[in-house]
Chains A and B, each alone.
Chain A
Amino acid sequence: MIWKGAELRNRIRKTVVWIGDNRNPAVWVGGGLALLLFVLLLPALVPGSEEEPPLEPPDTGGQTVTLLGQVTDSQGNPLAETEIRLCAASEAELPSPAAETQADGWYRLEIAVPTEMATKLIEGGEQICLALERPNFKPVALVLSTESWVAFDEDFHILVPNTVLEHRVGAAFWFVTLVFVLTMSLIAVDRLHKTVAALAGAALILMVSQVAGLFDAAWRILDFEGAVHAIDFEVIFLLMGMMIFVGMMEGTGLFQWMALVAYKVARGSPWRLTVVLVIITAVASALLDNVTTVLLMTPITIEIALKIGINPLMILLPEVLASNLGGAATLVGSPPTILIGTQAGLGFGDFLLNTGPVVVVALVILLVYTRWRHGDEYQTAKELDSAALMRRLEEDARITDPELLRRSLVVGAGMIALFLVGPQLEVMPALIGLSGAAALLIWVRPDVERMVSQVDWTTLLFFMALFIQVGALEEVGLIALVAEFVGNLAGSSIVAAILLTLWPAMIMSAIIDNVPFAAAMLPVARHLTATVPGGESGIIYWALVFGACFGGNATLIGASANLVAAGIADRAGFPVTYARFLKFGAPVALATTAIAMLWLLILA
């Protein structure tokens, strides 16, 4: 029996009232089960509520023609959830089947037609019109005839040409653009914590998309599933793994010990000390994150500088610049390299080969510049000859946990080896980072809660919110617009594409956080890589890496490591003003970016 309409509603009401009036627990349990069964069986009871059966051709004694095709945006990215409908087909009266593109942009549309018409379609003399629609894109009507088939077979499978949908600049476009600009502005002027700003922006976009999208499809920017899809968990997991590893290394005293070794190697020469510390900091920053490296190196550097009788800033400023330069040398050196490397599929070895040589030359430039600028001051240093101070220095710079250090170094070496051979084994860097962290946690057995707190969840959350915002920007077409604009400026010149990526990235990274900038620029770099001849080598990505990392040296706010070093120096009585940092850092940023440019032009 099938209940319908009022009768169905009446029966539901009676069932609920009967359960509500009865106070016997057994009846309650029984009633609950009955209700559960009722709910589960409801779809079967209500006509039409069951899942639609797959479309089958009507029995016309005809033929099923299957149309296969792909839909992409102007950057060649596959477009999921594009609605495909048959809008007209000559004079024949046909059903109007519809299909939707999958995540890879492909669709499969089955049309039931009389055999005669199917034959005519294949042989010519018959046309089919497809309507393709997707929110935030201009609708397309595709008239297909035999001449336009890419391929077909005798089973009436027809491969139609790929369709490119163009973005439509509408209200959603301006809304998402405004939210992103507002987010970046709030971060730049430090009015709101960057994670809060990014999260608020992402939440606003999703909420508006959800609510306004109910009334107008043009507002369907990003649903929840799309937001989750936009988050690159490979980046998140690699960051997380490296944060746990660095958290363990922090407690070993290795950095402080290395600084003392530098002091001993320098044998009282401030210049030699600066050279050794700059090299140590750059190497450490290439393997660990810059903030941690600077945080651990700065206090001991100040102590050593005071011991040898020199203003600590003479060593500290080159050291922090070296940290930012070193961060560009490897995949795991800094958040922008993790982001760009992971998303562009660039491995640890690729970084060593493509950015490593430039970083080495950039360090030489930094040292030459430091020597030229502060050479006289290095000469006037007068070491404090005090056994008590020396004992104190040695005490402050000892390895505090040799066993932890040994295990960390073993795991760290294993991770580097895996990072190097990972591409051959098809092991993604995120997996190596997580595995290394897990191995170290199992081997060392630290306080897990403390170790979990070593993960900078705020930064990870920032990345996730940022990915959602960038996903929304891609959806509404801003990224495509910028990519096309830069692409048009570059034309077919790889040199122009490199310059248009490198220098804006350098300048912007000196002013705003380089992570959101790199995240927004990545799709643009991807477009240039795909469209500009010569870009397929990935050279545009390297330009973005250099710009994002080297630009941070230009200003005090250009990198977190700069602010950390300045904060500690200030507490030691050596304030670093914005102007002082700019005078020292900006020439280095310009010169090293110029070197990077030369390198890229040679590669190009």
Chain B
Amino acid sequence: MIVCATRGGEASQAAQEFAIDLALESGERLVFFYVADTDVLSSTSDTRPHGIAHDLERMGEFILAIAEERARAAGVEDVGWECRLGHMRGELTAFLMESEANKLVLGRPVIAGEGQVFSQGGLGEFAAQVEEETGVKVLLATPPPAEG
């Protein structure tokens, strides 16, 4: 089974296409994976327990549903998705260990930013850590260079 950790941005598009190609080649099941991280208020002083988790989860499911449609349109028949609440690193590792995944596809970030789950430097380190902990092979997809 191929797991593609994805979001909706440019880097994720490249990862999705890479995973779709891989699934078409191998005929393996493809699962898109998203974690709704509710920690969006940590950068503000707002301490109210807003009901944001549900909204973020639905946003994640919508992103995953688009990815699934794209995969089906490309010809992948055995495709699904998994959306979880929590923190990306922990939830992804847990899902890989629970499932029968043997490959994980990650997209390289287009813009290095502190807020991103995987910064340029952190991605390689994370990939190595996941491989060691779960035995799942990690593949990194690089988006095409931006025009201009």
Contact = CB atoms under 8 A, between A and B. Distances in A.
A64 interface: no
B127 interface: no
Nearest to B62: A303
B41 A388 contact: no
Given A299-B58, A571-B40, 19 more contacts: A250-B50, A299-B52, A302-B8, A384-B66, A389-B65, A392-B65, A454-B48, A456-B47, A458-B45, A459-B45, A459-B47, A462-B45, A568-B40, A570-B113, A571-B56, A573-B9, A573-B11, A574-B9, A577-B113
A450 B49 CA distance: 9
A560 B56 contact: no
B87 to A, nearest CB: 11
A256 B59 CA distance: 12
A532 interface: no
Contacts of B41: 295, 564, 567
Chain B residues touching A, range:
35 or more
Interface of chain A: mostly helix, strand, loop or mixed: helix
B36 interface: yes
B26 interface: no
A251 interface: yes
B12 A568 contact: no
Contact of A295 (B50, B111, B113): B50
B122 interface: no
Interface in B12-41: 12, 36-37, 39-41
Given A299-B55, A386-B69, A567-B40, A575 B50 contact: no
Nearest to B116: A575
Interface residues of A, number: 48
Nearest to B69: A386
A295 B55 CA distance: 9
A574 B8 contact: yes
Interface string A434-475: 000000000000000010011111110010000000000000
Contacts of B55: 256, 295-296, 299-300
Given A567-B40, A575-B9, A577-B111, A193 B45 contact: yes
Contacts of A456: 46-48
Contact of A389 (B11, B37, B62, B113): B62
B103 interface: no
B99 interface: no
A321 to B, nearest CB: 17
B143 to A, nearest CB: 11
B51 A251 contact: yes
A489 interface: no
B46 A459 contact: yes
B58 A396 contact: yes
B9 A572 contact: yes
Contacts of B66: 306, 384, 389
14 contacts: A195-B45, A291-B44, A295-B52, A299-B58, A306-B62, A306-B66, A393-B62, A396-B58, A396-B59, A560-B46, A567-B39, A570-B113, A572-B7, A573-B9
Nearest to B40: A567
B37 A571 contact: yes
B49 A573 contact: no
Given A194-B45, A396-B58, A570 B116 contact: yes
A243 B41 CA distance: 16
Nearest to A305: B8
B69 A388 contact: yes
A291 B46 contact: yes
Interface of B: 6-12, 36-37, 39-52, 55-56, 58-59, 61-63, 65-66, 69, 109, 111, 113, 115-116
A494 interface: no
Given A306-B63, A458-B47, A564 B40 contact: yes
Given A292-B50, A302-B8, A574-B9, A568 B62 contact: no
Closest 6 CB pairs of A and B: A573-B9, A573-B7, A567-B40, A299-B59, A560-B44, A299-B55
Contacts of B36: 571
Interface of A: 193-195, 243, 247, 250-251, 256, 291-292, 295-296, 299-300, 302-303, 306-307, 312, 384, 386, 388-389, 392-393, 396, 450, 453-459, 462, 560, 563-564, 566-568, 570-575, 577
Nearest to B107: A573
B113 A572 contact: no
A450 B50 CA distance: 11
B58 A570 contact: no
| Residue from A295, A392, A457, A574 having most chain B Cβ neighbours under 10 A | A295
A322 B116 CA distance: 25
Nearest to A243: B48
Contacts of B69: 384, 386, 388-389
Contacts of B59: 299-300, 302-303, 396, 568, 571-572
Contacts of B37: 571
A295 B12 CA distance: 23
Contacts of B52: 295, 299
Nearest to A389: B65
A312 B63 CA distance: 12
Nearest to A515: B45
B8 A573 contact: yes
A564 B44 contact: yes
Contact of B48 (A306, A453, A462, A566): A453
Contacts of B109: 575
Given A295-B52, A574-B8, A574-B9, A567 B43 contact: yes
A291 B66 CA distance: 28
B51 A575 contact: no
